[in-house]
């Protein structure tokens, strides 16, 4: 069908006139111009949230701790310190409450994202009726970005298959650069840019925290240049100081010998500094050590040497992270943005972590799963601890010391050692008093209403067509100007792994359940009705040192009833003794699979998506086509702490490396380089049987012929890692194999083609 040119021009002109009349600038008798870009409220501040990981109340020097945090101290002088601020006691729920303003169980994330079950409060993902502050601010004209740890997406959605609506870029963040899961190797992280797995930037001096800061600064600068009138919301959540404890050696060595006095003495030193600084009341009592936590003097000399070094590593890690936060502050000041930036520096998503066990570990996922790690193994790595290739965690005694003056530590939601974390807030344009202390009760769910009030944005009743649950937190904005402002947050429940508490108008009732925080897998089966409740008047007892349960039984009973009402309202009930096998009725990427075939380009496939190779026999086989210079990774799972890799070395020899934490590394190598052509490589893992975590005979075959055999004394009963992936053609994350140093990171396969890789259960 043909149209005359004149008719086309006439039609276009009429369309343009119609569009201009309906959408053009406001003139007499015409409609107003539509908003092609959403404008933020006038004067809306930039918002930066810094959330550190596994840092106790008494760790940072700003709050009396032994780790020097000059950036935090500088911000405290410019702003306000909060000493009565609370988290949920564990990472994923804290992050969920922080970013939504709701109680964690109400969002669906009542426990860590990789420990979930069918109860609505423990699903491990945000429900759509609890939209994030990033999504709300984005819809009100903010640019939004997240850098660092996420840990709020369910395991069955952490794959290249998605869906991606529960990844950061699906929850309001226009840019995400960081990692999923609870942790990652700081030198060879499992990184994602948006939803794409990426290799870390090259360089021998790489460290993730510095990389995250650099990427965040780059993003800030671009936003400032391209859209200078738009405020930014930046969520900066490094892995520091969560295990693996890893930091540049120069930062670790700054603390050499600083902890030889042990955790009992260190706790007394921290307590004295806290009183001197005024960050705790003068009448605060130091709580006593738990009876099953060893005294420092009971350790052997070698155990003390290892423990001291592990604490030095932690201190260097935390101090290094504080310096990277300083780079963000400097960038904001240099651009002139800092004056109207509300900068919230939250020192930990829970108390310090006891997950390293009673003696600490050089590779802590082995003892976490019940595989032994001897003093000799730890001592052999003494000088290397915290450097590349190590995966350490410190002893529980240090966590207890860094939670001074409170009882317990991370994961114990019943007591303040798990839930009370420092916070420093600055906002130069609005800070009337600087360098002062604030003691109003606060909780991470208070951050969202604080931001909304500061930006003069109402909490939306509907987001993306979905009615929203009410905000549970209360704004802290009044406290910015007035030290005597009343606490708006009157009631708050806490629950993690059955440990539970209820706060109300200055009182707290607490019930410790079964699970010791240094016994990660042993959750216990104690009946909840057998738990002993305690009662504290926090208005006069800052540290929970004086149990008033026997003196005030009526008040305790009322508090217990209040807990049950709050628990029912927030999807906490029914309480359950949780275990890693409790993911009942939830999706699984590997359910029922006994075999899986992959092709080159499969990168970032989670360990949970593979057939379950633990506690049984299995094989991995590959068909490849090689040229004269073929080398690189064919298939790999896990990383440097534990895992396996099938690859061709720099000379083209076929190699299979199996890493069993620090217990044993097996490397099987073919007798000659592969000739050009088609080849089959196969690795067999023949399980000994007789229970969990047993040993195995292992064998490598090349074109059907055995070329290497060995034995493993044990095997992972549940997982290799919680953050590394299965990859074909490259090693995404830390190196599972022994690759040539000049081709890292990744050691991508070149000089040939990978036809397929198959994993089979036998």
At 648, which helix (H) or strand (E)?
strand 642-648
CB 190 within 8 A of CB 179: yes
336 or 11, higher pLDDT: 336
Q: Which residues contact residue 186 at a Cβ distance below 8 angstroms, ignoring those fewer than 6 apart?
A: 207, 208, 209, 239, 240, 244, 246, 247
Q: What CATH number corresponds to the domain at position 744? A: 2.60.120.200
Q: Which of 489, 517, 551 is the last residue of a domain?
A: 489
pLDDT-based confidence at 756, cuts 50/70/90?
very high
**pLDDT digits 0-9 by tens, 304-330:** 999 999 999 999 999 999 999 999 999
Report the C-alpha gap between 247 and 259 in whole angstroms.
17
**Residue 579 placed within a domain:** no
Residues 497 and 483 in one domain: no
- Calculate the CA dihedral of residues 528, 534, 535, 540 and round it to 10 degrees: -140
Q: What CATH number corresponds to the domain at position 544? A: 3.30.1120.10
**Residue 578 placed within a domain:** no
**pLDDT digits 0-9 by tens, 134-179:** 999 999 999 999 999 999 999 899 999 999 999 999 999 999 999 9
Chain centroid to CA 173? 17
Residues 171 and 193 in one domain: yes
Determine the Cα angle at 392 with ends 391 and 396, to 5°. 150
**pLDDT digits 0-9 by tens, 734-743:** 999 999 977 7
Helices marked H in 335-441 — which ranges?
A: 365-368, 375-380, 396-402, 416-419
Give mean pLDDT, residues 12-17: 37
pLDDT-based confidence at 748, cuts 50/70/90?
very high
**Residue 575 placed within a domain:** no
Residues 485 and 499 in one domain: no
Number of domains in the chain: 4
**Concatenated DSSP letters of 590-635:** TTT-SEEEE-TT--SEEGGGS---TTS-EEEEEEEEEEEEEEEEEE
Residues 524 and 650 in one domain: no
Segments forming the whole domain that contains residue 325: 46-489
CB 665 within 8 A of CB 744: no
Residues 550 and 410 in one domain: no
Single pTM value for the model: 0.94
CB 634 within 8 A of CB 702: no
**Residue 41 placed within a domain:** no
Report the C-alpha gap between 604 and 457 in whole angstroms.
38
User: Token pair for residue 157?
Assistant: 């959605």
Residues 366 and 244 in one domain: yes
**Residue 242 placed within a domain:** yes
Q: Is the pLDDT of residue 392 over 70?
A: yes
Residues 625 and 533 in one domain: no
**Residue 577 placed within a domain:** no
Q: What CATH number corresponds to the domain at position 112? A: 3.40.720.10
What separation in angstroms does the CA of 469 have from each of 226, 472, 662?
35, 9, 47
Nearest CA to 326 among 428, 205, 214, 438? 214
Residues 230 and 341 in one domain: yes
**pLDDT digits 0-9 by tens, 540-567:** 999 999 999 999 999 999 999 999 999 9
Q: Which residues pair with 20 in a beta bridge?
A: none
Q: Which of 523, 551, 569 is the last residue of a domain?
A: 569
**Residue 576 placed within a domain:** no
Residues 536 and 606 in one domain: no
Give the per-residue pLDDT at 33: 63
Q: How many CA atoms lie within 13 A of 578 on its CB side?
A: 27
**Residue 670 placed within a domain:** yes
Residues 310 and 446 in one domain: yes
How many residues comprise the chain? 762
Residue with tokens 């100007």: 481
Give the per-residue pLDDT at 561: 98
pLDDT-based confidence at 19, cuts 50/70/90?
very low
Give mean pLDDT, residues 352-375: 94
Residues 132 and 206 in one domain: yes
Give the per-residue pLDDT at 591: 87
Pairing relationship of beta strands 442-443 and 85-86 according to DSSP bridges: parallel
Give the per-residue pLDDT at 607: 94
Give the per-residue pLDDT at 525: 74
Residues 54 and 152 in one domain: yes
Q: Which of 444, 470, 489 is the last residue of a domain?
A: 489
């Amino acid at each position: 069908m043909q149209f005359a040119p004149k008719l086309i021009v006439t039609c276009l002109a009429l369309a343009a006139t119609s569009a201009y009349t309906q959408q053009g600038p406001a003139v007499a008798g015409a409609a107003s111009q539509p908003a092609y870009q959403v404008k933020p409220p006038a004067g809306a501040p930039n918002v930066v949230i810094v959330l550190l990981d596994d840092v106790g109340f008494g760790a940072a020097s700003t709050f009396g701790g032994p780790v020097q945090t000059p950036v935090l101290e500088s911000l405290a002088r410019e702003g306000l310190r909060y000493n009565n601020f609370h988290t949920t006691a564990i990472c994923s729920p804290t992050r969920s409450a922080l970013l939504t303003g709701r109680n964690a169980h109400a969002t669906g994330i009542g426990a860590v994202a990789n420990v979930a079950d069918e109860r609505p409060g423990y699903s491990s993902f945000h429900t759509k009726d609890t939209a994030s502050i990033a999504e709300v601010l984005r819809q009100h004209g903010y640019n939004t970005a997240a850098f660092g740890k996420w840990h709020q997406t369910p395991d069955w959605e952490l794959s290249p298959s998605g869906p991606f609506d529960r990844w950061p870029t699906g929850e309001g963040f226009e840019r995400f650069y960081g990692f999923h899961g609870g942790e990652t190797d700081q030198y060879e992280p499992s990184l994602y840019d948006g939803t794409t797995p990426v290799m870390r930037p090259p360089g021998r001096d790489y460290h993730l925290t510095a990389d995250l800061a650099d990427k965040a600064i780059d993003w800030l600068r671009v936003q400032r240049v391209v859209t200078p009138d738009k405020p930014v919301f930046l969520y900066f959540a490094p892995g520091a100081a969560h295990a693996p404890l890893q930091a540049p050696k120069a930062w670790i060595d700054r603390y050499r010998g600083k902890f030889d006095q042990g955790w009992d003495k260190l706790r007394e030193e921290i307590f004295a500094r806290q009183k001197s600084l005024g960050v705790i009341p003068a009448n605060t009592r130091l709580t006593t050590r738990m009876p099953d936590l060893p005294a420092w003097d009971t350790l052997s000399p070698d155990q003390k040497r290892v423990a001291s070094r592990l604490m030095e590593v932690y201190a260097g890690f935390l101090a290094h992270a504080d310096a990277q936060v300083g780079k963000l502050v400097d960038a904001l000041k240099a651009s002139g943005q800092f004056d109207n930036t509300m900068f919230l520096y939250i020192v930990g998503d829970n108390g310090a972590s006891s997950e390293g066990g009673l003696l600490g570990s050089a590779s802590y996922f082995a003892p976490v799963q019940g595989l032994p790690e001897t003093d000799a193994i730890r001592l052999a790595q003494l000088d290397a601890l915290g450097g590349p290739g190590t995966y350490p965690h410190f002893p529980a005694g240090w966590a207890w010391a860094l939670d001074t003056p409170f009882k317990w530590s991370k994961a114990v939601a019943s007591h303040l050692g798990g839930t009370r974390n420092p916070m420093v807030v600055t906002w130069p344009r609005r800070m009337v008093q600087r360098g002062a202390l604030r003691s109003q009760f606060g909780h991470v769910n208070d951050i969202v209403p604080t931001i909304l009030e500061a930006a003069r944005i109402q909490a939306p009743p509907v987001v993306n067509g979905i009615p929203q649950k009410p905000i549970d937190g209360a704004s802290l904005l009044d406290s910015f100007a007035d030290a005597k402002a009343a606490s708006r947050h009157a009631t708050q429940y806490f629950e993690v792994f059955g440990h539970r508490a209820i706060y109300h108008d200055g009182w707290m009732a607490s019930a410790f359940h079964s699970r010791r925080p240094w016994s990660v897998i042993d959750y216990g089966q104690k009946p909840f009705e057998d738990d002993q409740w305690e009662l504290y008047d926090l208005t006069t007892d800052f540290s929970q040192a004086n149990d008033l349960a026997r003196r005030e039984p009526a008040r305790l009973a009322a508090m217990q009833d209040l807990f049950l009402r709050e628990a029912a309202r927030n999807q906490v009930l029914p309480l359950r003794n949780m275990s890693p096998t409790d993911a009942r009725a939830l999706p699984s990427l590997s359910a029922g699979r006994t075999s899986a075939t992959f092709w080159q380009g499969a990168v970032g496939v989670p360990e949970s998506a593979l057939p379950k190779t633990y506690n049984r026999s299995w094989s991995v086989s590959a068909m490849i086509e090689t040229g004269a210079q073929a080398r690189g990774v064919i298939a790999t799972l896990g990383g440097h702490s534990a895992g396996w890799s099938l690859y061709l070395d720099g000379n083209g020899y076929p190699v299979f490396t199996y890493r069993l934490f620090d217990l044993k590394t097996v490397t099987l190598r073919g007798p000659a380089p592969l000739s050009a052509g088609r080849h089959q490589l196969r690795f067999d893992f023949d399980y000994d049987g007789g229970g969990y975590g047993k040993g195995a005979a292992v064998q490598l075959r090349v074109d059907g012929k055995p070329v290497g055999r060995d034995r493993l004394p044990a095997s992972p009963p549940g997982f290799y890692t919680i953050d590394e992936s299965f990859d074909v053609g490259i090693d995404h994350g830390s190196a599972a194999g022994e690759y040539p140093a000049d081709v890292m990171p990744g050691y991508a396969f070149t000089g040939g083609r990978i036809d397929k890789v198959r994993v089979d259960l036998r």
